[in-house]
Amino acid sequence: MDSRIARPAALLLAALCALLLLGVDAVLGTVAPVRAGSAAATVSGTLTERSGRPAGQVRVTLAPDSGAEHPTYSTTTDRAGRWRVSGVSAGRYRITNQMPGVFRPRYYPSRLAFPWGAVTVPTRGRLVVDDVLPPAGRIRFVAADAATGAEVRNFCVQDPMELGLICTNPAGTFPNGYVDLEVPPGHYRFTGAANDGVHEGGMVEATAVAGRVTRATLPVQPPGNELRVTLRDRATGAPVPNAGIIAISMDKRFPDIYDANEISDENGVVRFRSLHPDRYNIWAGGSAEGHGAQWVGPSGGTGDRTKALVVAPGPGITTLPDILLDRAGSITGSITDAVTGQPVSVTVALTTYDPFWYETTRKVPGDGSYTFSGLGPYEWSLAFIPPGNGGANSVYATQWSGGAPNSVKATRIKVVAGGVTVANERMSAGTAVSGQADGLPVYGYGYPVHVYNADTGDIVAVDENVEDGRYDVRLLPGQRVRLCLHPDRCYPDYVRQVDASAIRVGTSPFTVNFPGRRR
């Protein structure tokens, strides 16, 4: 699982070190000798730390920006942080800075991860590329049995920068029972899993401090952990069989296919086995016998997820209080254009969603009118999502009941058991927001642009097609939003969503350009 184990590049780097001892600029790949007047240049620069101190003994590598393997050039900074590579063929190159004894390389310009910058090397002459190493804190992880504290040497940790797992391995980068991750300063929740065939997952919080090492222990669950709960009819106390419930991480605004879905047995009992350690809300979807859906609250059902019970299962068996299901009611109403009064077609859902998880979100079609049935007798808010999800092809903005910009400000709709509540909605065009999104990351296809409400994390728009480098969305005024190419690649500088700029949406169209690749 350690994608960095036994890479052939390690052998190449060893060969390069030998060349450097001879005082030779290293060239990976076949490059013709450089002669006077040939089409080659010299690239040099000075690498410093943020404190201004020179960064010595750092491996500097120039690789083709196209992703091709050759030609690739490499050298090492001297004590003053200076480096120089001669005979570089004209073209565009990425620059990677590998510090000694550090797992994660740094990238020009001053980055820990995507998007990489690129420089254009001229046909002849010299190019100077100075750079500053980005701030980073190192977190050293060990793992232990969550019940006994016994050491677990084989485990993996989710890397928030590269969105993959980094693992211990006797023959790999981390052979000694620990994993080091360098990340930007800040507070993180890390998930991981044992890799010993016995233990299961774990979660730990840690704060990275620039230039320092933070130690964290991942408490991996011993086998046999279980979250258990019984579903009952509130009026009779009878168990409710064949009813579905979902455990959804608090960090998620919408369910997906990887969430824990279970069905109650003939005694109304639900068992979540081997549930990954996390903080969960529980969604009970009602039953075929007429029970309504609910977020499980501390003392009964609720239609407001912010009031839902928070469940953090630990080792062994965790038993929750019985879930009491109430009789269902429904909401119905018209959906019209706020200006013309004409009928409007939208999707009506309990939450906004990523189009990728469209099929997993509770929703109904709305074609000038809608009916949302099967809801428990609580106060609910509904999301009204236009075709195109508020993206380039949408003529309306996503909004919540009552024309609100997010779920917290939404008008609450009281559902009555066995009854029908009327809630009409008038759709607004919102404010047009556009910009360029032609920077990285690039993985052979255009990344969609997701727009999140800054106060709730609700998705409020998605432009799924930005291959042309441009995005267009419509947003309801009166909210602050964060724009992202991925939840952890957000404006202005491809930072985590929590660190992204919160941009206020007014009534006038405006432009927000993602930083492009450094030229």
The answer on pLDDT for 8 being more than 90 is: no
Position 163 scores a pLDDT of 65
Position 112 scores a pLDDT of 86
CA-to-CA separations, 30 to 27, 89, 428, in angstroms, rounded:
8, 11, 61
Q: What is the mean pLDDT of residues 355-373?
A: 87
Q: What is the mean pLDDT of residues 381-404?
A: 96
Residue (of 165, 189, 183) closest to 112 by Cα position:
183
The answer on pLDDT for 429 being more than 80 is: yes
Distance of CA 61 to the CA centre of its chain: 29
Least confident segment among 62-71, 151-160, 473-482: 62-71
The answer on pLDDT for 83 being more than 70 is: yes
Q: What is the mean pLDDT of residues 108-134?
A: 89
Kindly indicate the confidence band of residue 158, based on its pLDDT and cuts at 50, 70 and 90.
very high
CA-to-CA separations, 46 to 52, 56, 83, 479, in angstroms, rounded:
11, 10, 6, 44
User: Do 225 and 314 form a contact (C-beta atoms < 8 A)?
Assistant: yes
Residue (of 340, 363, 457, 330) closest to 406 by Cα position:
457
CA-to-CA separations, 498 to 211, 433, 449, 453, 501, in angstroms, rounded:
22, 21, 16, 11, 9
Q: Which backbone phi and psi does 369 adopt, to 5 degrees?
A: -155, 165
Tokens of 477: 């005024």
The answer on pLDDT for 259 being more than 80 is: no
DSSP symbol at 422:
E
pLDDT in tens, 481-507: 999 987 678 888 778 888 899 999 999
| Domains and their CATH numbers in the chain | 8-132 (2.60.40.10), 137-220 (2.60.40.1120), 232-324 (2.60.40), 329-427 (2.60.40.1120), 431-511 (2.60.40)
SS3 content of the chain, % helix, strand, coil (to 5): 5, 45, 50
The answer on pLDDT for 255 being more than 80 is: no
Kindly indicate the confidence band of residue 275, based on its pLDDT and cuts at 50, 70 and 90.
confident
Kindly indicate the confidence band of residue 87, based on its pLDDT and cuts at 50, 70 and 90.
very high
Position 496 scores a pLDDT of 85
- Give the Cα separation of 26 and 17 in Å (integer): 9
The answer on pLDDT for 4 being more than 70 is: no
Taking residue 368's Cβ as centre, other Cβ atoms within 10 Å add up to 12
SS (H, E, C) 216-266: EEEEECCCCCEEEEEEEECCCCCECCCCEEEEEECCCCCCCCCCEEEECCC
Taking residue 24's Cβ as centre, other Cβ atoms within 10 Å add up to 12
